[in-house]
Structure 1
Amino acid sequence: MGTRWTISTPETLPADVVDAVNTEIDRIDRAWSRFRDDSTVAQMAREAGRYPIADSDQPLVDWYRRLYGLTGGAVSPLVGRTLAEAGYDAAYTLRASARVPTAPAWEAVIGEHVGALEIREPALLDVGAAGKGFAVDRVAEIVGGHVDDFVVDAGGDMVISPRSRGLRVALEHPLDTTKAIGVVSVAGGAVCASASNRRVWADWHHIVDPRTASPAREVLATWVIAPSAMEADGLATALFFTPAAFLRGDFDHHREGFHHVTIRRNGSVEHTAIPGLELFL
């Protein structure tokens, strides 16, 4: 999946658990990666059709539909072609086309999306806004079936088990990766981040508004603590486009809601009252 995985446990995991983890990561990659020719997503880009959704993956599709509505289309799985034409393609050319297209509307391309994904016309999907968090949750579920105390970390997107001793997580400075803007203590749950200083080329970075085919400019970095990594990952992207108060209003189904830190280009920082948060700014 193009990221470094670290699983921390008090003792070595059995070989069958490690195999199960590797198998699940590969399954997710084969289904959802737009960077490999043999994935289901690559097939969707070549031809319309009805593509079965694994039961385990339905929450990811449902979450994307919800994020699409919450953000007015700013977080969309249909951003794939926009990113590819901007230069963030399977070959990593990092050269934008003369005209980078906006993404089509969900309803124009996607019909049925429960049990199967109906693609009405060929379209390049990208689930990068929440897909890594989803994969972290899936791996955490496998690991959690064998040990109570663990941390699953995929490139800084983490699930910390409720029975772990907790973890102090540094919040990387978006303008100087050798520094942190703060630290937060997380004891159970998930923490994910998104930043515009990652995957940068020319005038572009990877957080693109599909409605305008232009990179997000006002927000530099976000961090979210939520019950699941899939939710935290998606919300970390959504915060580049949508006010936190609006997003939070949709989280009544979680008693604990979610926490966030947002740092903007003008240097201002917005955050919730996160237990264990220390900011150095």
Structure 2
Amino acid sequence: MRVKKNGTTVNRWQGWIFFCIGLIGLAVGCWYRHAGLRKDASPEVAESFGVMGTVASLELAGNAETAGAAQQRIHRIFEDVEARWSLFRPESELSRLNASAAEQPFACSEELWRVLRLAREAWQASDGAFDISAKPLMDLWGFYRKRGTMPTEKEIAAVLPRVGLDKIQFDDEQHSVKFTVPGMALDLGGIAKGVAVDWAKEAAVACGVKAGVINLGGNLALLPEPLPNRESYRIGVRHPLRAEQCLEVLELQNCATATSGGYERFVELEGRRYAHIMDPRTGRPAEQMLAVTVIAPSAGQADWMSTAVFVGGEAIGRRLAERYPDTRMLLCFEDGNGGVRVVRLPVE
């Protein structure tokens, strides 16, 4: 079978390899399968590329003009989000906010304010399990700069007062942010990629692309229609203990998925691995779960909810499932016998 990459026809299996490269390198628990597409179901665009510290994968159906236009717009969106909100670029909007918001209110762009509003909703809905102000803790534990020893109780206690959205003044009229405690900092890592995927999906649909998959670091948006001659998209949920196995296959379309897990991205301190997901309430990495997969109407929602439930556990998952009835979740726990116990929410 044949697909096209950047307008050039390539072998179908090469296209599949491009897509898998993105998924393998993402530290996530979901992957997309064509399950035997015929030639006339091949997407017009199939590519993978690096951006925002991860790998993006696109599969866009339609004609060359619409798919190519969508491809270009998605590239610009991802690159713009990276430029605006990277923690590793001193000139980015987020870096400038973190550097100055303790001194005076920082006026946010409309794009950043939209993300902050969603992050505030997430913080409130999750009872603080999702908190974009956890960057000081991420720094302490060496998730951005390696350290060889465990943080002490004294170090954790010293950092915790600088964490919490309740310590930030949000001016809804001026769209500004003010830190009330020196040393605070925001980290959009658990929400920005999902939001970027939502914007990319909107751009693709606006260009006339109705079928395809947009994947950014494991945050997937499935376009409104399946690819030709298919009834849906097949999303495999990775087994959190055995990477070569699929825990479950979901048949989906016109929605988004995200997975949070501790089996790929982690820091190792004193011989023990700690997941790259922080519990902002305790000052320690979350440890009670193996993985969480969320299916939601938007990628931004799926992104923050998977993080919140990974941190807060089944109780937060049940609360969020009740509050957001159009979402579904798969919660994975160790069963004590080397296997996985799966809790599906909402309970049917």
TM-score of the pair, normalised by structure 1: 0.86
- Among 63, 68, 80, the alignment partner of 1:27 is 80
Change (3 A) 1:159 1:56: same
Letter aligned with residue 148 of structure 1: K
Secondary structure of residue in 2 paired with 1:239? helix
Change (3 A) 1:34 1:270: same
Residues 88-109 of structure 1, C-alpha deviation per residue, up to 9 Å, x if partnerless? 12xx425465524225221323
Partner of 1:153: 215
Question: How is 1:132-171 mapped onto 2 (pairs within 5 angstroms)?
Answer: 132-146=193-207, 147-165=209-227, 166-171=232-237
- Among 254, 257, 279, the alignment partner of 1:209 is 279
Partner of 2:169: 110
Q: Distance in 1 between matches of 2:243 and 2:56?
A: 20
- Among 16, 27, 40, the alignment partner of 2:93 is 40
Secondary structure of residue in 2 paired with 1:62? helix
Q: Distance in 2 between matches of 1:18 and 1:210?
A: 37
Change (3 A) 1:136 1:114: farther
CA apart distance, 1:138: 0.8
- Unmatched 5+ residue regions in structure 2? 1-51
Q: Distance in 1 between matches of 2:168 and 2:323?
A: 25
Q: Distance in 1 between matches of 2:147 and 2:249?
A: 33
Contact 1:109–1:119 at 8 Å: present in 2 too?
Answer: yes
Of stretches 106-115 and 142-151 in structure 1, the one that deviates more from structure 2 is 106-115
Matched residues, number: 269
Question: How is 1:245-256 mapped onto 2 (pairs within 5 angstroms)?
Answer: 245-251=318-324
Q: Distance in 1 between matches of 2:58 and 2:262?
A: 26
Letter aligned with residue 73 of structure 2: A
Residue 324 of structure 2 corresponds to residue 263 of structure 1:
no
Contact 1:47–1:122 at 8 Å: present in 2 too?
Answer: no
Letter aligned with residue 123 of structure 1: M
Contact 2:321–2:345 at 8 Å: present in 1 too?
Answer: no
Change (3 A) 1:226 1:155: same
Q: Distance in 1 between matches of 2:173 and 2:68?
A: 34
- Among 105, 128, 134, the alignment partner of 1:73 is 128
Q: Distance in 2 between matches of 1:73 and 1:131?
A: 18
Residue 57 of structure 2 corresponds to residue 6 of structure 1:
yes
Structure number with bigger Rg: 2
Q: Distance in 1 between matches of 2:345 and 2:247?
A: 15
Contact 2:108–2:177 at 8 Å: present in 1 too?
Answer: no
- Unmatched 5+ residue regions in structure 1? 276-281
Q: Distance in 2 between matches of 1:110 and 1:265?
A: 40
Partner of 1:279: none
Partner of 2:192: 131
Partner of 1:232: 302
TM-score of the pair, normalised by structure 2: 0.71
Letter aligned with residue 238 of structure 2: E
Secondary structure of residue in 1 paired with 2:105? strand
Change (3 A) 1:178 1:113: farther
Partner of 2:259: 193
Change (3 A) 1:29 1:154: same
Secondary structure of residue in 1 paired with 2:195? helix
Letter aligned with residue 19 of structure 1: Q
Q: Distance in 1 between matches of 2:220 and 2:147?
A: 28
Secondary structure of residue in 1 paired with 2:53? coil
Partner of 1:278: none
Q: Distance in 2 between matches of 1:213 and 1:114?
A: 32
